[in-house]
Each structure stands twice: as structure tokens, then as C-alpha cells.
Structure 1
Amino acid sequence: MVELRTRRRVLATLGATAVGGLAGCLSTFDRPEYDIGMRATAFAPEEITVDAGTTVVWRNTSARGHTVTAYESSLPEGAAFFASGGYDSTDEAREAWHNDSGGRIETGETFRHTFEVPGEYSYVCIPHETSSMVGTIVVEA
């Protein structure tokens, strides 16, 4: 009976040590290398808040192709327009998408944009706009 209790104590100690030792290692796997994921018909999260000067990274985490396109009319004054594919306006991005899937972000690919001007930025995935795939970036000074 003493041997069984000792064995259990040793196993319990080893188990606790292993879990504690792995906790630091596992946490590095929990942190994604992007800020916003793209699901089938939604950005996740739909809204984030960042400081001015922050680069936001979107990653297509679904099996569908997506775009990231600013609603040009809602940009804060002096803010840079952004769109996957490098287009200069919402209309240009829409036209490119409808002509040949321009600006498409494939599964696992990323798009990034640095937000310099404080304010609220609304954006859309053009092919899934009718499914309400829209998001918001709030940039604080």
C-alpha cells in the first residue's frame, strides 16, 4: 500500500511539472500571427481597436476567397484608402473583383494595412457583402 501511494505521489508530481513546464510552450501556439480571421462569411472579430501606427493583419482562415476593401466614403479625413489588390478606390476594387476576382485573398494568405489616422474605418469583403461580411477598425490616438 505504501508503494502504491508513493507511485501516485510521484506520478502526480511529474504530471504537474509537465503541465507547468509546457504551459509556456503552449502559449506560443495559442497566439495567432494575424489580428483578424476571415471565416466563410464573417470577419473574426468584426471590430477591433488599435493604436495609431498599428499594422493590422487579416488572414483568410476559410476555404473561400475573400477581399478586404475600405468603404472609401467612411474613412476618417486624411486617412489612406486600403484594399487587397492595391486598388485606389472602393469602386475600382469592386470592378476588379467583378471582372476577374481582383484583390482575392486565398486560403492561408494575408493582407496588412497600417492605420496612421485616428478614427473609425469600415471595410467589406466584396464577394460576401450581401452576407454582411463587414468589419470595423477603431484607431485611437
Structure 2
Amino acid sequence: MNRRALLAALGSGTAAGLSGCSSVLNLSGGDPCDGESCDIGMTRTEFVPETYEVRVGETVVWKNTSEAVHTVTAYEELIPDDATYFATGGFENQADAYDAWGESRGGRLGTRETFEHTFDVPGTYEYVCIPHERAEMKGTIVVTE
């Protein structure tokens, strides 16, 4: 079954009176990518869905579906050993991503911007939005064979 269709069906309780409102609200708890080209959306302080499963070789697309600025930054120690590091801004490691954010908000993903990464190594990948880390804006990608 198509994951986007399933997520859209599960979150179909969106109130009609909210049409046109910013997805920052995401009051339905549904899929912020509904009708948009992404796999993982971003509300004010959440990746939706928080956990996403793909197969080796598949590409995941994150889209900032909120009005806030976000990052997608892998926790370097929480990805498989042979995996390629990923972060918005193209940083090669977690320290560089955090430094760039602290210096100039480097790696920021603006409203409606996307970021994608192809997962070539099976395993579990943990990631975070740097500016919303204290709010627990974290996600997980599970890559299967």
C-alpha cells in the first residue's frame, strides 16, 4: 500500500474550517505532506511521521511544511557505521552542522523547501532539527533490505 495514501487516510479528520491556515497548526495530527511531494513533513516542532520505513536504495524527501525554519541533521553516532552522513546544508559531520547553525543558521530549510537523501545501508538512522532539538523534534528512518 502507498505510505502517503495510508497516512492521508489515517489523518483525514482535518477540519474544513481550517482550510488555508498554515500547516504550522497541523491540528488534525494528520500527514502534513498530504497532497504534496514529500515523505516526511515538518510542523512547528515535529517531523511527521516521526518514524519512516524505506528499503535500501530508496530516497526520502523531507519538506518544510511549516512557517518555521528547520534542519534535518543526522546524529552521527546513531546511524549505521558504513552509512553516508546526511544533513541539510551538505555537511560532512554533525559537528560541522551544529557549528554552521550556530554561526549563521547554516543548513536551514525554509518554508516549502525540500531535502532528500538516498539510504544505501540497512539499519536505523536517528536525526534532529537543530533549532528545535530542545522541543524533541527528532525522527527515525528505518532502512530494510
Match of 1:106 in 2: 110
1:70: Cα distance to partner?
0.3
Structure (1 or 2) with the greater helix fraction: 1
Deviations 1:65-89 (A, max 9, x none): 0000000001112000000000011
What corresponds to 2:28 in structure 1? none
Q: Which residue of 1 aligns with 2:72?
A: 68
Aligned to 1:9: none
Unaligned 5+ segments in structure 1 are 1-29
In structure 1, distance between residues paired with 2:138 and 2:106: 18
How do residues 1-141 of structure 1 correspond to structure 2 at under 5 angstroms? 31-141=35-145
Letter in 2 for 1:110: T
Secondary structure in structure 1 of the residue aligned to 2:107? coil
Q: Find the aligned partners of 1:118 and 1:98 in 2 and give their Cα distance.
A: 31
State the identity %. 54
Q: Under a length normalisation based on structure 2, what TM-score does the superposition of the two structures give?
A: 0.76
Aligned residues: 112
Structure 2: runs of 5+ lacking an equivalent = 1-33
SS of the equivalent of 1:77 reads coil
Structure 1 residue 31 displacement after superposition = 4.1
TM-score norm. by structure 1 comes to 0.78
| 1:50-108 deviations in Å (ceiling 9; x for gaps) | 00000000000000000000000011120000000000111110000010000000000
How big is the shift at 1:37?
0.2
User: Rg: which structure is higher?
Assistant: 1
2:67 partner SS: coil
- Write out the 4+ residue segments of structure 1 that deviate beyond 6 Å after TM superposition: none
Measured in 2, the distance between the counterparts of 1:130 and 1:82 equals 20
Aligned-CA RMSD value: 0.8
